[in-house]
Structure 1
Amino acid sequence: MAVDAMTSREVTKKILNNENLFILDVRNESDFRDWKIEGENVGHLNIPYFELLDGVEEILKKIPKDKEVLVVCAKEGSSVMVAEMLSKQGLDVSYLQGGMKAWSEHLEPVKIGDLNDGGEIYQFVRIGKGCLSYMVISGGEAAIIDATRMTDVFIEFAQNKNVNITHVLDTHLHADHISGGRKIAEQTNAVYWLPPKDATEVTFAYEPLENGNVITIGNTAIDIHALYSPGHTIGSTSFIVDEKYLLSGDILFVDSIGRPDLAGLAKDWVGDLRETLYSRYKNLSEELIVLPAHFMLMDELNDDGSISEKLGTLFEENHGLNIESEEEFRKLVTKNLPPQPNAYQEIRETNMGKINPDLEKQREMEIGPNRCAVR
C-alpha cells in the first residue's frame, strides 16, 4: 500500500507555522537521543525499526489520531516500510523523504531585511543542523558568508535574483560542517576570503581576510567591514554589513557563546574569546542586529523562521555575556562543553583542502546536531 512522502521543506513549513505534527522515529535510541526533529508542537515516539519487524499492532494506541503522523528514519527505507504497515492498519501517515540525511541538508531562505541602497540580506536556515548562512545583495552583485556544502541552493538563489556572486567569505575555518565557500567561488569566479590565521594549513589559494578589510558589493555603498574577533578559532572574523548587521560567526549566538576548544586550544583561546565578547563587541553599537552562524534551540527562531537579535538585548539576556568573574568565565568555556561535533577533525581537514571525501562520506561526517556553542 503506497504512502505519501513529506519533504524536508514541508516539515520545515509545518514547524515554522507551529502546526501539530507527531513523529514516529524508528532509528536507534542513541541516534534519537542525540539528534531529532524538534518544534513547538512536535510530539515524538521512538521505537527502533527492528522492534517493529513482527508488526505495529502494539504501538497503535501510542499514536494519536488527531495529529498528522510522520515516520522518520536515517535514510528513508525503514520509514517507508513502517509507514506502509501503519497504513494497512488504517492510519493516515507519511514518511520523511530522504530521511534524516535529507533533513540535515535542507536550507530555508529567509529575508532578514533591506539595505540602505535597495539591496537585501538573506539568511539561509539549515534547520536540521543548526547552521546559518547569508547572502548580501546589492547593485546586481552578491556576497555569500559561511556557505554550506549544498552550493546549488546559493547559486540558484542568486540566479533567481539576477545577481552575480562576486565574493564568498568564511568567518573562520569550520569544524562542524563542510564549507561550500571555495566551491562556489570556483564555479562563479568570485573572490574567496578566509582569515589567514585559520588558513596556515590550507592547500589552496585564497584572499586573506583581515581586520579592517572593506568589501564592497555592487557599485553602491553597501560595505562589509571585517572585525577580527578571535576566540572560537584564532582567526575568527565578524562582519558588519551596512552599519546595521553584525555577522558574528561562531563567536556569539542568540542563546549562548562560542566554544574555544575545537582545535584543542581551549585554554589558549579562552582569553581571546572573553576579549572579543566583553571588549570588542561591547564597543559596538547596541543597535546592531546580530546574525550568528549557528543556533542550538528551536526557541531561538523568530516568528518568520529567522534567527537574530539586537546586540544590546544579548548583552542584557545572554548569560555568556554577563559573567563578571574572569575565572568563572574561563571555567564555563573550558569545563562546561558539549561533546565535540562528529568527525570534526576530518571536517577541518576537508575545509583545509587536505582531504577530499566523496559526497556520501561528507554526508556521514556531518550527521548530528550543531555543537559549536557553550551550554
Structure 2
Amino acid sequence: MSQSIATKELARRIVNQEETFILDVRNTDDFDDWKIEGESVEIINEPYFNLMDGVDALAGRINKNQEVIVVCARGNSSKMAAETMEEAGFTNVYDLEGGMQSWSQHLEPVKIADLSEGGSLYQFVRLGKGCLSYMAVSEQEAAVIDANRMTDVYERFAQKKGVTIKHTIDTHLHADHISGSRQLAENTGGSYHLPPKDAGEVTFDYKPLEEDHDITVGNTTIKVHPLYSPGHTIGSTSLIIDQQYLLTGDILFLKSIGRPDLAGKADDWVGDLRETLYSRYKKLSDELIVLPAHYSSVEELGEDGSVQAKLVDLYQRNAGLQVEDEQSFRDMVTENLPPQPNEHETIRQTNMGKINPEVEEQREMETGPNRCAVNA
C-alpha cells in the first residue's frame, strides 16, 4: 500500500526550496500546459497508461531508492502508479493526495511585514495557480483582498489570529479564478468592496471601492487607500496599505504587466493600461513595495516564499515598463497575449453573480495555469 503526501507538506517543501522529485502521470498535453514547479523541483512526465503493465518506461530515469512523489489529475491514477512502482521494487514512493486538483486549491500563508503602527500584513500564495491574496490585520480586525474561493482558509487563519474579518475587497472583477470575497463577507458579516466600473452587471449589493474613500481596519491603525488604475479591467483599482505597500491587482506583476483583453476590450483598454503604468504609478513613491495578485513563475518567489519587489526596481527591470513609444507599447501588448484562461467568460459570469455553479464545476472551471499577464 503506497504512502500519501498532503499538498500542505509539498507546499512547505517547495517554499523551503527542499530537493523534490516528482513523477507526473497525466497525459503529456496536460503536463505541458500546467505542472508543479519549484526552485528545487525536478519533474518528469510519464503517462499512466504507459505504466499500467509495468514500469519499464521508468528504467534509467528514476533510482529505485530515491524519494518520488507521484502526481495525477485527482489522486487516483497516481495511487495506482505508486503501488505498481512499489511492487517493482521502488522503496520510497508517495502519491499526492487529491492530485493537481488539490494542488490548485492550496493556499500557503506568508507574513509580509509588521506594519508601522501595529498590525500585520500577510500574503496567501496559491502555488498551483499563481494567485496571490492578502490579509491586513489590526486591532482584532482584518481586511482580505482578492480572496480565492476557498474561504475556509481565510476564516481559519483569522480565527487563529483572534481577529474578525470586517472587509473583503476585490481589486477588479476577476476572470481567471472564482472570487471568494463576496462569500467570505457573507460568512463573516463583513462588507464586500468592488470597483463600481467593474460592477455594471453584478446581481448583488456591494460597497464601492473608489479613490479617496479609505477603508479603515482596526482602530484607524491601517488605512487602505484605493487608487484607480484601469487597464486590466476598466475598474481595476490598486490599494496602498500603510503608505508602504502597493497592491497592484492584475495591473502590474514582478516580471510582466496585466493583459487588457479578458472582457474583449484589448484595443480599448490598452491605453488605460499604459496610462496607469507610465503615469499614475510613476507619481507614487518608488520605494513602495509592489504586491501583485498573481505571479507567473517560481523564480518570482523569494527565499521566504513571498512575491514582492520595490516599484523602483520594477521600473528598471520589468520589460513591460520599458516601452516609451505609445504605438510600440500598444503593439507589444496586443501581439503578445497568451491563450485566455480556461472558462474565463464563465468565471466572469460567476463573479458577477449571474450563475452559481456547483463546487465540483467551479474546481473544473479553474483548472489550468495563471494567464493574466502579457508575454512582454
TM band (smaller chain): over 0.9
State the partner residue of 2:58.
59
State the partner residue of 1:116.
116
Task: Provide the secondary structure at the position in 1 that maps to 2:14.
Answer: helix
Asked if structure 1 preserves the Cα contact closer than 8 Å seen for 2:173 and 2:351, the reply is: yes
Alignment of 1:353-372 (within 5 A): 353-372=353-372
Quote the offset at 1:118 in angstroms: 1.5
Q: Note the residue ranges of structure 2 that are not aligned, 5 or more in a row.
A: none
Quote the offset at 1:65 in angstroms: 4.7
Quote the offset at 1:79 in angstroms: 0.2
State the partner residue of 2:344.
344
Give the residue type in structure 2 aligned to 1:278: Y
In the alignment, the residues of structure 1 paired with residue 374 and residue 66 of structure 2 have an alpha-carbon distance, to the nearest angstrom, of 35
Is 1:39 matched up with 2:38?
A: yes
Asked if structure 1 preserves the Cα contact closer than 8 Å seen for 2:72 and 2:100, the reply is: yes
State the partner residue of 1:17.
16
In the alignment, the residues of structure 1 paired with residue 314 and residue 64 of structure 2 have an alpha-carbon distance, to the nearest angstrom, of 41
State the partner residue of 1:291.
291
State the partner residue of 2:316.
316
Task: Provide the secondary structure at the position in 2 that maps to 1:281.
Answer: helix
Give the residue type in structure 2 aligned to 1:262: L
Alignment of 1:223-372 (within 5 A): 223-372=223-372
Quote the offset at 1:220 in angstroms: 2.8
In the alignment, the residues of structure 2 paired with residue 170 and residue 273 of structure 1 have an alpha-carbon distance, to the nearest angstrom, of 18
In the alignment, the residues of structure 2 paired with residue 119 and residue 65 of structure 1 have an alpha-carbon distance, to the nearest angstrom, of 49
Q: Which moved more, 1:312-321 or 1:229-238?
A: 312-321
In the alignment, the residues of structure 1 paired with residue 312 and residue 251 of structure 2 have an alpha-carbon distance, to the nearest angstrom, of 16
Q: Note the residue ranges of structure 1 that are not aligned, 5 or more in a row.
A: none
Quote the offset at 1:60 in angstroms: 3.1
Percent of counterpart pairs with the same letter? Answer: 63
Cα deviation digits, residues 340-374 of structure 1 (max 9, x gap):
00000000000000000000000000000000001
In the alignment, the residues of structure 2 paired with residue 239 and residue 94 of structure 1 have an alpha-carbon distance, to the nearest angstrom, of 42
Q: Which moved more, 1:232-241 or 1:6-15?
A: 6-15
Q: Which moved more, 1:101-110 or 1:62-71?
A: 62-71
Is 1:139 matched up with 2:107?
A: no
In the alignment, the residues of structure 2 paired with residue 141 and residue 45 of structure 1 have an alpha-carbon distance, to the nearest angstrom, of 45
In the alignment, the residues of structure 2 paired with residue 58 and residue 168 of structure 1 have an alpha-carbon distance, to the nearest angstrom, of 49
Task: Provide the secondary structure at the position in 2 that maps to 1:225.
Answer: strand
In the alignment, the residues of structure 2 paired with residue 275 and residue 105 of structure 1 have an alpha-carbon distance, to the nearest angstrom, of 34
Q: Which runs of 4+ in 1 moved over 2 A?
A: 64-68
Asked if structure 1 preserves the Cα contact closer than 8 Å seen for 2:172 and 2:195, the reply is: yes
Cα deviation digits, residues 43-94 of structure 1 (max 9, x gap):
2221111122111133232113564211100000000000001011121210
Asked if structure 2 preserves the Cα contact closer than 8 Å seen for 1:231 and 1:274, the reply is: yes
Normalising by structure 2, we get a TM-score of 0.98
In the alignment, the residues of structure 2 paired with residue 214 and residue 194 of structure 1 have an alpha-carbon distance, to the nearest angstrom, of 13
Normalising by structure 1, we get a TM-score of 0.98
In the alignment, the residues of structure 2 paired with residue 219 and residue 43 of structure 1 have an alpha-carbon distance, to the nearest angstrom, of 47
Q: How many residues are paired up?
A: 374
